[in-house]
Structures are given as structure tokens and as C-alpha cells.
Structure 1
């Protein structure tokens, strides 16, 4: 079963507006959902969408809420998401950071009291689209055990960086764990095993069973290096922005409870440094050097760019369990999920 990109966006929009979300915010959530799937991050796209519907049902996502700026300076803002959709809070936070950075050269906006926002790179890309460097980090419910331990304390804590260049899409978006939790949830849904070296069961024994790894812990990438990066992000998106941290973070996977995660969005304007044109030209020269000296290599963003092009042409795959769940969601709203599919 497949769905075309424009129909996936319409599906998400139609479901959310049926629930009562305003059109502006429904469009933001739909764009973020589609962005994840087009780039190949299916664990954070339509496959994650039913989680948000459960959040609405449990009232841990407030469809009528909007963000509140609690503190603000020329270069900084602290936002209370008021339990709105994480995508809405994150989108508006990065837009504020972009506006401030265009004036001052750099800006940072933190958020708390929000929700899971999908794929991290969607927000760093917002800055890139306006010729700014974008950086997004977030924490999540505990999934990584401290080095030498087996009890999860840190989240998979993603980081995304997007950099403007003359021609090339340059971006990285990754968890600080060996795998994002969403990929384990997706493997669990599909009945797939995970690769070795990703997870430990509750007894600290390596496992390829995603269910056991979700009960246990996910290993940090690169051993102590991934652990250290996850640790630092935990602080920058917890204590710094007034959000939960460590075992105090919940609600990013289980939407039956209030979400206590935090996020930080940074925008940097190259025009205030060496100048926009010089920066983008020199960045592109570096990309060319990489490609010339290392044939057939890729730069960060190449894989995602290819997947976006391919998925726009071929459509996006829907597995049978996701099809069943989305069908049930649509039926409750007098929508027919099959009407959105291009291949049944």
C-alpha cells in the first residue's frame, strides 16, 4: 500500500482539522510529518502520527493551545508550549530564532511544556531555507543507561544541523543513541528485529528484540562519545529551558502522560560573519573538495536528498498494521483512509 506525498499531507491535515485544530497549525504538523517520511525517517513520520491522536484523546496534547513567550531578550526567548503540538511549538520557536538572528547574527530559543515534534531536522531546515545555519537539539524520555549501567537515565537526545550552501543541501539529523527510539517502535510494530549493538534488555544483556530493548536500554553511539553528547544535550534542553531532565522526562513516547521534554533552537546568520555569499561559496568549495578527493562519497544530506526525490516519484509505503490503525482513526472522523491511497 502506498500514498503520494501530497495525499499524506492532506490526510494529516484533514484528520487534525476534523479534531478541531486550526488550519495554520494543522499545516505545520502535516508538513513536519511529510518531511520525515520523504527523508526516509519513517519512524517519525506517518508511523508516529497515531501517537499524537492518542495524545489528543488523553488531553496531553491541547489542540486549542498556543505558545506563550515567558522570557525574552533581543537574542533569546523562553517559550511555554502550553501542551500544544510539539511541531507547532518547535516551528514557532525556530521562526522566532530566525527573526532574531537576522537582526543580531545569532539567537537561541528554548521551549518547555510542549510535545514530541517529529523529526529534528525539519526545524534546522527552516533556518537553512532563509540562508541561516540552523541547530536543533531536544531531550526525550530515558532510553540510554549511563556508561557501565543498565538503567536508562538519558534520552536518545537528537541533534540536527543544517547549513546553507550555493548548490548542495547540507544537513545532519541524528540521535545520540545508536538508534532513535522511534526506529525501535517501528521495528516492534512491523515485527522486525533490530541490528546487534543497538539495545540491551532489562538485565543489561545485548538483544535484537526491539520490545526487550525498549524495556531495557539503547546503547549510545560511539560509546563514551555518544554518551557524553547525550549528557550535554540533556542539560541544554532540560535545566537551561525549564524542562524535565533524566528520569524526569516523560511523554515523548507514552502520550497518556504529560510531556516534560525540552528543546533548544539556534539560528546563526553567516551574513553577520564573513557575509552570506562568501560563506555559501566557500562551503560549496569544501563540498567539491570532499567529492573530488573521495570518489563516490556522500556529504551529510545527500542520502536524504535522494530519498526525497525518490519518494516524491514513487509514493510512500504504508505497512499493514499502520494501515489498520489509520483506517480506525479515519473511521471515527467519517473519513475513508483508502481514498488517500494511490496503491491499495
Structure 2
């Protein structure tokens, strides 16, 4: 394990992207997103996923020069087509657009179709919340989650983000609708470790903590059991209807995780001039609960990521030497 400065890692990402047809600006922004994800402790959607991102570019599934386009507009609601461009860049563009709509109408909603994996969804929650917006976004995915009582996957783990602004650091919940995201499952596989809790079903239909079994069966455990499965379905329905894009059923026709539909909602908290005191009071009460043991700490969503990021900025990002060499050799 070595410590790598953020700028050094960003330069490595940027050079690889520029060599594959990204403009200077696009390569810089995409590299910044991958670096920030890694520096926030979400390696599964940062450096760990970068080789797959490059593979999708090389296969022609991600088009480096493609730009998202506005297709339909009605007041505070818009529909955009991502044209199979880089998912993080598409998401960045429409997040900014949702905020601009919120400046005008108090709320802005952008539905996006034909886009690619946006990597760490929380990045866009932080992006909006740090500028003072309440923010919600989600995506559908390939089928990788079973409906409750089903033997095979027929819905997605459909990650969703909720973000609330705060001067001392936004509150950002970034979660998949499976108990563990597949990126996190891959992390445990790479580290040859069991999951700390049941995360899905094995080939015999039994609950398991073995990440390799879950990856093989594609039967991750929905959060809240049947409630999580139902929520997954509704997020898929709303994203598909608003964007007129691919549903999870459509995405199932391809072996690649591309062409998904997403929704981005920005809200300007116009009516609350005491937002900071509201948020702080709620967080203080939340964190006042007695921990289950003296070794446990109660964090609000996003707090650990912020602490990890601060440490990385001061000391560098911890990265496995072999992984860094793999990135350099792409």
C-alpha cells in the first residue's frame, strides 16, 4: 500500500482518458470525479472501476465525444438524451441543469436516457448540496436484484441519493437498493473477505455472507426485504417513464451495463431561512442516541466520507501498488 497525492492520481486518469479521445476539459473533469470517488473511500466506483470504464470505451459502449442533448421541456421538467456518452460527464451536465431550473422555478427535474454508469452517485449529491440545494437522484440498472419470492433477478439495485446542504458539511445518503452494492461485493471478493451481514442468496437459495456466491447468482438481498424490491420497481418505472428510456427489462437484453435511465431533482429551500439550525438540531438529536458499545460511533450519512477525504487530502490516498500499476499499464 502506498499514499498517492490527489493531483498525481488525477493526472494518471486524465492521461489515459485523453489517449482515448477525451477533450482536455472532459478528461480533466472525468479524472476529477474518479479521483474524488477514490479519495472519498468509494474505491469500488473510483480507481477499482476505472479499468472497466476504459474497457467500455475500447468496446465502443461509451462514446468519449458524445454530449447530452435536451429533447423535451415543460416548465421545471426536462428530458435529455445522453447519447451513450461518459456517464459521469452526462450526470454532471444534467445536475447543473437541474440546479439552474431550481433557480428559476424553485425545483428542477431532469430525466436522462441512453446514458452510462455514473460511477459514485453521491458525487452529484455533494456537488448540489455544497451549492445550497436539496438534491435527489437515482438510476435504473441491469437486472441484478430479485423481486421478493423470486428465484432470479428481474429488477435492479437502482442506486439513489438524497442530499441536504449544510455549511459544516452536507448530509448525503448514497445507497443501492441491495444490502451491499455489487461494487462493494467486488471489494470483498478482491480482499477475500466475508460480508459482515447476509448480503444475498447462494445457488441453493440460502442466505449467505459469501460475496462470490452472490456475484455468481446475481441474487443480492434487497434492503428491507420485500420493501426494497418494491422500491426498486417504482424507481425503475419512474425513471423509464420520465425519460422515455430503457427500463431494467430493456437493459436485460444486453450483457453490458449501459443505456440506463436516470432522474435528477434539485430543490432550492426558499421557504426556510433557518435551514442550518433545523439541520443541526436534527443531526444533534440523531447522534445523541447511545451507541451499542463504547467502540461504536454514530455517523450521519456522508460524515465518514468527508473525514476520509480530509485525511486523504492531508496524507495522500492509500492505494494498492499492484492496482496503481494496473492503471498505469492500461
* Structure 2 SS opposite 1:179: coil
Aligned to 1:269: 268
- TM superposition score normalised by structure 1: 0.87
TM-superposed CA distance for 1:324, in Å, is 4.7
Check whether the contact 1:81–1:89 (CA below 8 A) recurs between aligned residues: yes
Q: In the alignment, what sits opposite 2:294?
A: none
Which among 224, 227, 230 is matched to residue 226 of structure 2? 224
Change in CA separation of 1:127 and 1:323 when aligned onto 2, cut-off 3 Å: closer
2:147 corresponds to 1:158: no
Give the stretch that moved more between structures: 30-39 or 151-160: 30-39
User: What are the within-5 Å matches in structure 2 for residues 26-175 of structure 1?
Assistant: 26-175=27-176
Shift in Å at residue 243 of structure 1? 2.4
CA RMSD of aligned residues (A): 2.2
- 8 Å contact from structure 1 (residues 153, 247) kept in 2: yes
Asked whether the equivalents of residues 60 and 258 of structure 1 are also in contact (C-alpha less than 8 Å), the reply is no
DSSP-derived class of the 1:146 partner: coil
1-structure distance, mates of 2:257, 2:120: 20
Matched, 1:237 2:236: no
- Which of 277, 280, 289 aligns to 1:281? It is 277
Matched residue SS, 1:114 = strand
Further displaced range: 210-219 or 283-292: 283-292
TM-score norm. by structure 2 comes to: 0.90
Change (3 A) 1:203 1:290: closer
Match of 2:251 among 249, 257, 271: 249
Alignment partner, residue 322 of structure 1? 323
CA contact (8 A) 1:190 1:319 kept: no
- Judge conservation of contact 1:200–1:212 (CA < 8 Å) in 2: yes
Deviation at 1:10, TM superposition (A): 1.6
* C-alpha distance in structure 2 between counterparts of 1:283 and 1:212, whole Å: 41
State the alpha-carbon separation in 1 of the partners of residues 231 and 257 from structure 2.
Answer: 26
Unaligned 5+ segments in structure 1 are 330-344
| Higher alpha-carbon deviation: 235-244 or 311-320 | 311-320
Q: Is residue 111–residue 264 contact of structure 1 (8 Å, CA) maintained in 2?
A: yes
SS at match of 2:116: coil
Equivalent residues of 1:93, 1:109 under 8 A apart: yes
Kindly state the Cα deviation for residue 13 of structure 1 after the two structures are TM-superposed.
Answer: 1.2
Secondary structure at the residue paired with 2:329? helix
Q: Give the CA deviation at 1:293.
A: 6.0
Deviation beyond 6 Å, 4+ runs, structure 1: none
CA distance in structure 1 between the aligned counterparts of 2:205 and 2:300, rounded to whole angstroms:
35
Q: Which range moved further: 150-159 or 202-211?
A: 202-211
Q: Deviations over 1:40-62 (max 9, x none)?
A: 11111110011110011100000
Q: 1:215 to 1:258 in 2, by over 3 A?
A: closer
Q: Which moved more, 1:279-288 or 1:179-188?
A: 279-288
User: Alignment partner of 2:184: what SS?
Assistant: helix
How far 1:209 sits from its partner (Å)?
3.5
Quote the offset at 1:316 in angstroms.
2.3
**In 2: Cα distance, 1:44 partner to 1:258 partner:** 14
